[in-house]
Structure 1
């Protein structure tokens, strides 16, 4: 659909001796307009299918052959497209990464449904109801998977080194080094740090930092950014960066085509909690408290109850087959019950399919010195206590299905941090105990990011990030990614 170039095509005729402040030609990423066009065509195709196919079926039952049906169909298509445009679902800044892309898409469909409903009331069009409650949701069910499929194509190209935006980073050695490490580990985000500026123009080697060339000092950043034609200038924390210097840097980058990105001191706080306000002429970064109550939490609870109930009904035949397989494989109970720690430190009993021999807990003391887990976790890739059926159940996380009963009962959620053992939580540092501010989940960021293959510090960071930046859109993305993680079996043992 679009080529996978190695990065950004620099426009011809870019001058290398431009003084600061003089406009230069902006860099051109050839894949970006093509990818955006593909996304727009996908959304328009979803709207067309929803209106023509689903709308046609609705029309046959509601008002076959009625003259109003054609007008309602045209109005629905126009409102859908208009709502998506108003909610800026095709803005390049949100395409291909993060939950914001899907959050905007969801807002667009909700707004379209509201507008259609109000229009039906205003003009007394009774035929509008099935279009609001059937056609719009059906269109959304088509659009979201299409978006996800396009995103996967983009991420594949980025893993192969294409469709990446060249970045110049500037800051302290530690913070720039951390940025380089993160961009390499998360190529799907589309950043590639190609050059670095530091306080003294030196790195951790011969003018290099983590294998990236150090091209100058922090004061040379604007000049170097213009000469290199970089798409993004990432400023990381360093004592050099005073408000006046950051403002001057922003002015000097105007007209260069480079986007200036400043990393806040609160590196792990993002998403809906960050707001920029202008107070007394000063831009202030306002950080709101994490939301653990309110309407969104009520919606999450409803989704947990309804979703777990539907999933139990859907997978009950599979659970019955698993129970029979466990009984045939080894003697002992089908289910394994264990005390875990939930929200606010309250303990509850978790339910799983038994995957180990019945005396597994007693055998643990003989295996402690062979622990391959991270931090306070005990994990072994070839644990001798695991049964033949248990190894299959663990690989595809089928042993976790009975936890849907915990979700239905209330102590757990579909999405949240991993529920720890009491002895694990007793050894938590104060900052790690923030994981207990929300209900533990059947799945979460930890599970969809590598599971047992992750270092303990990274697993904790992901759980704390979820606590700090929780949103309904993030839950939806995690649930979607869970299916891929389960079927791949990566990090499960």
Structure 2
């Protein structure tokens, strides 16, 4: 029997302690803030005579237990994606919904101020604590620690694709260590560049288990189209359960987010349903409301920054403060996009001379040492401050806070048919392209990220991208 990896056991223990500390801190703080005065101390007992100190202890214990029941400490969701945070918030709201229901049914005189303080304080404390733990975990994974080793089983092409996908996202915590290619000729192997040893070709349960015992992985991943019979896969699953080795099925679905995937068991088969992209009118209205609210708040907070940048641009070089450029928006219509001017006035006229020196991805023009960029413009571009006037584009409805990169009309003319799907939504001030490398991305990666966003949009996803944008801006990766 393969023991559970030490890092998983230790990390779950750390999360349990961190959750307990965050919950106790929040509940105790709410108790002190609500009943800390002399009058508040007189109210420490409810009408029924139940002390709030005991209520605080009980609720803290129940909250901690619910976090475990909701799987927030499941090591398969830690360090990558938003599922950990979603489960944490869901468990917290369910707890206080339960408190409200019990208080109503049994006519308990629960102090609303106490609950109103405890819920947001606890949720924020848990989120901050989990972010700190995740930061430590990601630091570990950058050095190859705290990862789950994976044996890849399947056909050559499926295994290669899966290996590259896992290696391209090391923060997910899966490290391919070997392959097993059942049913393929003995001389076949995966691309040597992957540097993965192959442990066999025999499509029998006994041979597979021998390879698993030899490599001792934390998980076994079956790629799409794995040439194994249903009986062999079923028996393999039973054996892996006894060995405490996780079994991962990797279907041939790419760039499809979790909310669009639904499983339905039929005659023992887990059928996977993939829903169509959420592009209905209700979703568009919700996104527009989110954009307006966010743009107004950001303009209110950043107005001093906008004023300072405007003065710097005016004093740095002759010309207008704002640069207006025609871009392609939703549906392919054109609009004027606003930016703080970061180049000399005749930059557009000098573009053709520099086009042959482009360091972009073949479609978009990019030049690291662009001679047209002004002294102030270089600093503005490094921190994306030149993009801030696009908040006014968000207000007038031509752009969104989050979306695909706004393309030039000349770029749209070169699009292949499928690339036009990125014009189904408004372009964004930021997006997956902004938090994934910006100018360092290839054209194929840019298109893939934009199409992924269009087909898997959600409010939670927009919030996550906005939060990641701040980190990407300060890291300055790919900004020029």
TM-score past 0.5 threshold: yes
1:369 to 339, 346, 356: 356
The answer to whether the 8 A contact 2:329-2:427 is kept is: yes
Check whether the contact 2:153–2:226 (CA below 8 A) recurs between aligned residues. Answer: no
Please report the TM-score for the alignment, with normalisation by the length of structure 2.
0.90
Q: Which is further off, 429-438 or 71-80?
A: 71-80
- What is the distance in 1 between the residues matched to 2:285 and 2:230? 41
Query: Quick check: 441-450 or 213-222, which moved more?
Result: 213-222
2 CA distance for matches of 1:201 and 1:465? Answer: 38
Residues 87, 70 of structure 1: CA spacing in aligned structure 2 closer, same or farther, 3 A cutoff? Answer: same
Counterpart residue number, 1:406: 393
Q: Distance in 2 between matches of 1:121 and 1:296?
A: 34
Note the residue ranges of structure 2 that are not aligned, 5 or more in a row: 47-51
Question: Which residue does the alignment assign to 1:195?
Answer: 178
In structure 1, the residue matched to 2:201 is: 217
**Aligned residue among 107, 119, 125 for 1:136:** 119
In 2, the alpha carbon distance for the partners of 1:429 and 1:62 equals: 72
Cα distance, 1:239–1:111 mapped onto 2, change above 3 Å:
closer
Task: Return closer, same or farther for 1:119/1:349 CA change in 2, 3 Å cut-off.
Answer: farther
In structure 1, list runs of 5 or more residues that go unmatched.
1-24
CA contact (8 A) 1:27 1:230 kept: no
Alignment partner of 1:452 is 2:435: no
Aligned with 1:357: secondary structure?
coil
Cα distance in 1 for partners of 2:113, 2:387 equals 38
* Number of matched pairs: 468
Give yes or no for the alignment of 1:350 onto 2:334.
Answer: no
Q: Greater relative contact order (Cα 8 A, min sep 6): structure 1 or 2?
A: 1
Distance in 2 between the 1:413 and 1:460 partners? 18
Q: 1-side partners of 2:327 and 2:109: how far apart?
A: 52
TM-score if structure 1 supplies the norm length?
0.88
Mapped to 2, the partners of 1:252 and 1:84 lie a distance apart of 30
Q: CA RMSD in A?
A: 2.5
Counterpart of 1:256 in structure 2 is 243
How far is 1:473 from its partner? 3.0
Return 342-351 or 368-377, whichever deviates more. 342-351
Provide the C-alpha distance between the structure 1 equivalents of 2:222 and 2:461, rounded to a whole number of angstroms.
26
Give the Å deviation of 1:133. 3.4
3-state SS of the aligned residue for 2:365?
coil
Partner residue of 2:20 out of 44, 48, 62: 44
Q: Deviations over 1:353-408 (max 9, x none)?
A: 11111121111111111111113111111111111111101101111111222223
Structural mapping, 1:336-485, within 5 Å: 336-485=323-472
Post-superposition offset of 1:62: 11
Segment of structure 1 superposing worse, 127-136 or 265-274: 127-136
> Which residue does 2:147 correspond to in 1?
164
Q: 1:313 to 1:97 in 2, by over 3 A?
A: same
Contact 2:263 2:270 in 1 (8 A): yes
- The aligned residue for residue 35 of structure 1 is 11
SS in 1 for 2:417: coil
Aligned with 1:214: secondary structure? coil
Contact 1:170 1:221 in 2 (8 A): no
Q: Per-residue CA shift, 1:314-341, capped at 9, x if unaligned?
A: 1110110000000000111111122222
Contact 1:203 1:214 in 2 (8 A): no
Residue 78 (structure 1) shift = 4.4
- Taking the aligned partners of 2:354 and 2:198, their CA distance within structure 1 comes to 48
Structure 1 distance, partners of 2:283, 2:13, is 33
Could you tell me how far 1:34 is from its partner in structure 2?
1.4
What is the SS of the residue equivalent to 2:198? strand
Partners of 1:229 and 1:256 within 8 A in 2: no
